[in-house]
Structure 1
Amino acid sequence: MRIYKLKSDVENYEWLTLVNEEDWRMMNHLFNGQPAAEKYRSIQVIKMNDQDRDRPLSDCPYLMPGISILNQKAIDKIWHLFSPYSELLPLSSYEGKFYIVHVTNILDCIDYQKSIFKRFKNSPESQIMRFIKYAFHSDKVGSNLIFKIIDQPKSTVFVTQEFVNYVNSTDITGLKFDLVWDSEEDKVN
């Protein structure tokens, strides 16, 4: 089993940004892995123009960590991969139709014995600050194609090889996949 971090390609494509500063607080509060549709109100976004580079807007532009943005083309081609594990929330934009994909599938699947991580200094049993190396329990990931972990419900989205293979077989632009764990390599280490 291979697990990847799902990321946006910020090197080759433009980002989106929020029009209203106060919407950042709502985004940070709502998108914690729990369903948010009932409390969500449409947020307006615009293309963040980089004066130094002329880059196109992708099908899956970056907005903030822990959420994915899909345009209508991406919805039509890959939403079925996200839908069992996420909710879809509309954005308001003059740039086209965009949607937030908020992953609500939170798994307790980290192998803490094989992972390397740093905790906040206040207490040895405190919350994990960051992971240096991830290791997963394959049986707890199971057939889930996309998920977050209980230690980082607001940030990192993980996907499996099956998800990566399918997305790579389409013409969707703007997604990147960073391999963070391979069960076969883990058996050797």
Structure 2
Amino acid sequence: MDIYRISQNYVEFKFFVYNENNNSSQQAIDFRGELLSSNYEKLDFKIFIDPQKKQDNRRLDFDASCYYTGILLINEKNRSLLANKLSSKIEILDVETDLSEKFYFVNLLTKIDCINKDNKSNSDIMLMVRENNISLKKSNISDNIIFRDDKLSSSYFCTNEFVNFISENDIKGLRFEKVGIAE
């Protein structure tokens, strides 16, 4: 089974970055799959504007955005669709953006021991991650279609089923980079 890391499609679509005027947004880098709703400070994002480009032809009609690989945002139109598909595996929280369309932070709660770390040093594991040649434990992934590794929890990983779900529902803005195989 192929495993993918979820990231932003920077080539086709504009994307969100933190609004540096709101210090609380930096907290998201430290999220590791814990339930946040009880003391969550609303994250604040804005569309990235490249000062080097006079004209940016990338599209603004995205449905999802991914800041780094572990901060997934989804628009209002697809919020319920994603919530119904993933139910108790995610928490959906409000965010502020500079767009008129409403977006939400998808906090992924599913953390599993999925990277095969057996008999591997930390440098071996990091080399697998850097080279997108990660060996994953299929038995631990089980029926999870989107998940975090319990140790490398800042990235969102997914299976073909999740990639197909996004494609079938025409959710635009994400890129799926194959990072390994679950055996």
Q: Smaller-chain TM-score range?
A: 0.7 to 0.9
Separation in 2 of the partners of 1:14 and 1:93? 13
Q: CA deviation at 1:42?
A: 1.6
Separation in 1 of the partners of 2:126 and 2:181? 23
Please tell me whether residue 108 in structure 1 is matched to residue 109 in structure 2: no
Separation in 2 of the partners of 1:116 and 1:82? 33
Which has more helix, going by share of residues? 2
Asked whether the 8 Å contact 2:111–2:147 carries over to 1, the reply is yes
Structure 2 unaligned runs (5+)?
Answer: none
- Residue 90 of structure 1: aligned partner: 94
Q: CA RMSD in A?
A: 2.4
Query: Would the alpha carbon gap of residues 138 and 115 (structure 1) be closer, same or farther in structure 2, given more than 3 Å must change?
Result: farther
Q: CA deviation at 1:113?
A: 4.3
2:66 alignment partner, one of 39, 62, 65: 62
Q: CA deviation at 1:21?
A: 4.5
| Paired positions, count | 174
- Residue 25 of structure 1: aligned partner: 26
- Residue 169 of structure 1: aligned partner: 168
Separation in 2 of the partners of 1:114 and 1:12? 41
Amino acid of the residue matched to residue 108 of structure 2?
V
SS at match of 2:165: helix
**1:83-139 deviation digits (Å, cap 9, x = unpaired):** 3321111112240200011111100122224978627xxxxxxxx656242111111
Please tell me whether residue 47 in structure 1 is matched to residue 47 in structure 2: yes
Separation in 2 of the partners of 1:11 and 1:116? 35
- Residue 137 of structure 2: aligned partner: 137
**1:152-178 deviation digits (Å, cap 9, x = unpaired):** 11x211111111112111221011111
Asked whether the 8 Å contact 2:89–2:108 carries over to 1, the reply is yes
Structure 1 unaligned runs (5+)?
Answer: 120-127
Amino acid of the residue matched to residue 77 of structure 1?
L
Asked whether the 8 Å contact 2:18–2:26 carries over to 1, the reply is no
Amino acid of the residue matched to residue 46 of structure 1?
K
Asked whether the 8 Å contact 1:45–1:93 carries over to 2, the reply is yes
Asked whether the 8 Å contact 2:115–2:135 carries over to 1, the reply is yes
Separation in 1 of the partners of 2:71 and 2:86? 12
Query: Would the alpha carbon gap of residues 2 and 84 (structure 1) be closer, same or farther in structure 2, given more than 3 Å must change?
Result: farther
Separation in 2 of the partners of 1:169 and 1:23? 35
Separation in 2 of the partners of 1:172 and 1:68? 13
TM-score, structure 2 as length reference: 0.82
